[in-house]
Amino acid sequence: VKVDGRPYRSIWRADDGRAALIVDQTLLPHEFRVVRLETLEEAARAIADMQVRGAPLIGVTAAYGMALALLRDPSDAGVARAVSVLGATRPTAVNLHWALRQVEAAVSGVAPEARADTAFRLADRMAEEDVERNRALGAHGLEVLREAAEARRGEPVRVLTHCNAGWLATVDWGTATSPVYQAWDAGIPLHVWVDETRPRLQGARLTAWEMAGLGVPHRVVPDGAAAWLMRTGQVDLVIVGTDRTTAAGDVANKIGTYPLALAASDNGVPFFVAAPSPSIDWELSDGADIPIEERAAEEVTEVQGADPDGSVRAVRIANPGSDAANFAFDVTPARLVTGIVTERGVCAATREGLAALFREPGAGEEPPEGR
C-alpha cells in the first residue's frame, strides 16, 4: 500500500541486508515510525510488545528474527535458542510456529556460516508469498462482496470487521480487508463498520487508519454496538481474521469475535473468516485445545492516546486498586461460521470443506505447505 504516496509493506529487509525494518504499530495512528530490528532479542520484543502483530506478520517477523539470531550464533545451539525465544513470544497465532519450523528445517542441513543467509532468503520468500496469498484470498472474498452488492442494488455493502486483519497484520493486503480493498478498487460501493476492539483498540487505531488512508468509507463503533447494528439491519456481512483455525473449522481470533458470531447467527447475518493456509492448524480439531494468550492487566485498566499537542501517553481508566483479566483471544465454534475465505477459495467451516481445498487428490493425510 501507499502511505503518503510512498509504497510500504509492514516489514522488509534493510538495504544492507542485515536487519529487518518494521512499522512500529504501537505508535499508530499518532506517529508513523519505521524501526530497525537487528537482533534476536529485538525481534522477539517487537512481537511480544506488539510493535508488529497480526498472525501472518508475526510469522514473517519470526522468520527474520531467526535470520538475525543466526548472524550472531549459527550453531545448532543457536538455532534451538532462537526457536525457543521466538516461540515463547505469543502463544495463539499458529503462524509463529509454522514459520519457525520452516526456518529450522531449511537451515538444519546447511553449514553454520551459510545459515543466516539461508534464513534471510527464506524470510524474504515468506514475505513475498504472504503478499501473493492474501491477494489471492482477497480475490475469492471479492466474489462474496460482489454477491452482496447485487442484493444491495447500488447501495453500499455494509461490512463489519473486528480488530485489525489489515495490511498491517500481514505483509500487504491484509486478510479480512483484502476482499474489501479489492472490492473498493473494483468500484463496489462499501461502508465498513470498524469495531474499536477493546482493550488495545486495533480497530479504532489501526483498521480505521488503514481505511482512511485508502479512502474506504468507514465508521468506528464501540464493540458493544455490533449486535445492535445487526439487529437493526445495518450489517450485510461480517468478516474477521484468525490467529488459528483448526482443521475442523473452529476459529481463534481477537477477544470479542465469538459474541459477534453469536449475534450474526441470531440475526441471519453471514459471518466469514479470512484464513490464509498458514493460519490453519492441521494438528488440532477442537478449538478448546487452542492456547489463549493472557496479557498484562494494564492493557485493560489503562488506555493510550494522544494529547492535543500530539504526545502519546497512557492514562488509568479503571478503578485504582482493581485488577483486570485480559484474555487476548476467543474461539468461535465452526457451526457459527458461514464460510472460510482462503487463498484457494471459500469453503464451509468443516473438516471436509477445508480438506477439499487443501489436500490434493491422492495426497493422503499430508497437510499442505510443507508441514
Phi-psi bin for 187: left (phi > 0), alpha (psi -120 to 50), beta? left
Number of H helices, E strands in the chain: 12, 18
Residue in 53, 158, 205, 218 binding ligand MRU, rule: CB under 6 A: 53
254 near ligand MRU (CB under 6 A):
yes
Asked whether position 196 contacts ligand MRU by CB under 6 A, the answer is: no
Minimal distance, residue 171 CB to ligand MRU, in Å: 10
Distance of alpha carbon 35 from alpha carbon 168, whole angstroms = 14
Residue with cell 495463539: 92
Are residues 35 and 24 in contact, defined by beta-carbon separation less than 8 angstroms? yes
Name the helix (H) or strand (E) containing 107: helix 94-108
Identify which range of 5-13, 51-59, 119-127, 186-194 contacts ligand MRU by CB under 6 A.
51-59
Decide if residue 161 touches ligand MRU (CB under 6 A). Answer: no
- CA distances to 44, 202, 332 from 215, rounded to whole Å, are 33, 18, 31
> Of the candidates 243, 250, 299, 330, which one interacts with ligand MRU according to CB under 6 A?
243
Among 19, 22, 55, 94, binds ligand MRU (CB under 6 A): 55
Rounded Cα distance between 35 and 304, Å, is: 20
Distance of CA 180 to the CA centre of its chain: 15
Residue 142, C-alpha cell as written in the block:
471479492
Please confirm, yes or no, whether 243 is among the known catalytic residues: yes
User: Which residue in the list 124, 243, 281, 330 is annotated as catalytic?
Assistant: 243
Q: Which of 61, 102, 178, 242 binds ligand MRU (CB under 6 A)?
A: 242
Using CB under 6 A as the binding rule, whether residue 229 contacts ligand MRU is answered as: no
| Minimum CB distance to ligand MRU, residue 60 (Å) | 12
Count of residues of this chain found to bind ligand MRU when the rule CB under 6 A is applied: 18
Q: How far apart are CA 193 and CA 269, in angstroms?
A: 14
Closer to ligand MRU by Cβ: residue 253 or 338: 253
Q: Binding to ligand MRU (CB under 6 A): which residues in 63-92?
A: none
Name the residues that contact ligand MRU, by CB under 6 A.
53-56, 93, 163, 165, 169-170, 174-175, 202, 241-243, 253-254, 328
Which residues are marked as active site?
243
